[in-house]
Amino acid sequence: MATQAISVQPQPPEGPVPADQLDRLTRLLAANAEQYDRSAEFPRANFDILAQQGLIALTVPRAHGGRGASVSEALRVLAAVAKGDPSTALILFMTYHYHATPNRTRGWPADIYETLARDAVAGRGLIGGLRVEPELGTPVRGGLPATIARRTAHGWAISGTKIYSTGSTGLDWYSVWAKTDEESPRVGNFLVRAGSPGVEIEPAWDHLGMRATVSHAVHFTDTPTPADHAVDIRRPEEWGAPDPVQTLWNALSISVIYEGVARAARDWLRAYLNDRVPSNLGASLATLPRVQEKFGEIEALLQVNRTLVRDAAARIDAGDPPPAVEANAIKYVATANAIRAVEIGLELTGNPGISRHNPLERHYRDVLCSRIHSPQTDTILIAAGRAALGN
């Protein structure tokens, strides 16, 4: 079911979102995180909170009624959301992505983009890219989709299956990666409204972590969409290399989402270590040099992440983005550091750390999911190695 209309501010404020607002936002979302992890439902209440605060339209240009946030500001907000509930952040990131990377929507019909922008300003307009298929896997590794768009008298009819469709039951729009049924097929993105005829969502997502992303399978059977909703279709050879700003946005967003998980784990661990006073010690665990050393390691890992992401985001905002190889290397390092940071917490806590009575167990399950996002480790490291070797 699509997001519901929420009353939001008609004129968005200028400047960064205040730090105290983001702190409150993190706490509000965190209060719901355990519930949604257990139920594996779309985090409706969290998106109502985001809509009420006018944050769904954060990256929508001001000309369309949004806040027109820079990459640095968008990542700052996304990090606060992720620290509260990373599933909410991963769904939100996709909508931010479409509005924050203008090359992605520049070729779209103006009225269609304006519709999406107005929806976001009204607290709706969640959009997700549906690209992965059972046989193809992710298109990042090449190949044409099995999903087919057939010409009709009124536009297109979409048929096929997409898996790992993040946000499935709560999105307002699907951007479906499909090929045409033309003699020389074109491939690209077809916009489909959620709830259109012929759309069936199969509740297939039952994963280790990030359970509230509801990344279910979505089946399309002759699903109609207007002719102009084929917003970006090209010959396969015309796609070429991914847009570098989109690559950067993806890499940095995934980095801050999972760093947010690690920072939530760090905060819980800090409180636990200060509160836990073993009877044979007579002082808190936080006073032990070995504990202080390991907690210092967590701090160092997270500081490296923050520095890498801030520098890359600042370069994008200054018009000097780092190359894609470098951006993806940041994702590789940042997600590995986030996993290691939470693992250290488990080492320090023992049994309490893996108990479902404590959130550290959930944070660990969530942070492990960082490994599945494209581009994956082999792709990142092969590209980095080739570049360094001059191949």
Q: What is the CATH number of domain 129-239?
A: 2.40.110.10
Q: Of 390, 238, 257, 281, give the one whose Cα is nearest residue 334.
A: 257
In this structure, the chain runs to a length of 391
State in Å, rounded, how far the first CA of the chain is from the last one. 48
**Torsion angle (degrees, nearest 10) of CA 325, 328, 329, 332:** -160
Cis-peptide, bond into residue 244, ω within 30° of zero:
no
Q: What is the mean pLDDT of residues 279-285?
A: 88
> What is the C-alpha to C-alpha distance for residues 241 and 235, in angstroms, rounded to an integer?
13
Q: Any residues with CB less than 8 A from the CB of 95 and at least 6 apart, and which?
A: 56, 120, 125, 126, 127, 128
* Type of residue at 285: L
Strands 148-152 and 127-130: unpaired
Say yes or no to pLDDT of 103 above 70. Answer: no
pLDDT of 22 over the 50 cut:
yes
Contact 321, 245 (CB under 8 A): yes
Residue 5 has pLDDT above 70, yes or no: no
Encoding tokens for residue 69?
């946030």
- The closest alpha carbon to 300, from 266, 325, 252, 273, belongs to 266
- Of the candidates 348, 387, 342, the one whose C-alpha atom is nearest the C-alpha of residue 364 is 342
Mean of the per-residue pLDDT values for the chain? 92
Q: How confident is the model over 55-98, as pLDDT tens digits?
A: 999 999 999 999 999 999 999 999 999 999 999 999 999 999 98
Q: Please spell the DSSP secondary structure of 219-284, one letter per residue.
A: EEEEEEEEGGGEEEEE-HHHH-SPPHHHHHHHHHHHHHHHHHHHHHHHHHHHHHHHH---TTTSS-
**Who contacts 157 (Cβ-Cβ below 8 Å, separation ≥6)?**
149, 150, 198, 222, 223, 224, 225
Options 1.25.40.340, 1.20.140.10, 3.40.190.10, 1.20.120.420; CATH of 244-389: 1.20.140.10
Residues 290-329 have pLDDT tens digits of: 999 999 999 999 999 999 999 999 999 999 999 989 999 9
Residue 8 pLDDT grade (very low, low, confident, very high; cuts 50, 70, 90): very low
Tokens of 32: 């719901």
What is the pLDDT, as a whole number, of residue 7? 43
Question: Three-state SS for 129?
Answer: strand
Let me know how many helices (H) and strands (E) the chain has, helices first.
12, 8
Count of alpha carbons within 13 Å of 120, Cβ hemisphere only?
Answer: 32
Residue 111 has pLDDT above 50, yes or no: yes
Residue whose structure tokens are 């995180």: 33
Cα dist. 337→231, 256, 333 in Å?
38, 11, 6
Whole-number percent of the chain with pLDDT over 90: 83
The pLDDT of residue 15: 83
Q: Residue 183 pLDDT more than 80?
A: yes
Provide the β-strand partners of residue 223.
Answer: 158
Q: Which SS3 state, helix, strand or coil, does residue 194 take?
A: coil
Task: Evaluate if residue 2 carries a pLDDT over 70.
Answer: no
- CATH code: domain 19-125 is 1.10.540.10
Tokens of 244: 């570098």
Q: Which of 102-111, 243-252, 277-286 bottoms out in mean pLDDT, i.e. has the lowest? A: 102-111
CB-based contacts of 173, cutoff 8 Å, min separation 6: 116, 125, 126, 127, 128, 191, 192, 193, 194
Question: Looking at residue 9, what is its pLDDT?
Answer: 44
And the tokens for 59?
């990256």
Find the radius of gyration of the CA atoms of the chain. 21
CB 253 within 8 A of CB 93: yes
Q: Tens digit of pLDDT for each residue in 118-165?
A: 999 999 999 999 999 998 767 766 778 999 999 999 999 999 999 999
Q: Which tokens in the block code for residue 262?
A: 């690690």
Domain range list for the chain: 19-125, 129-239, 244-389
Residue 55 burial by Cβ neighbours in a 10 Å radius (0-12, 13-18, 19+): buried
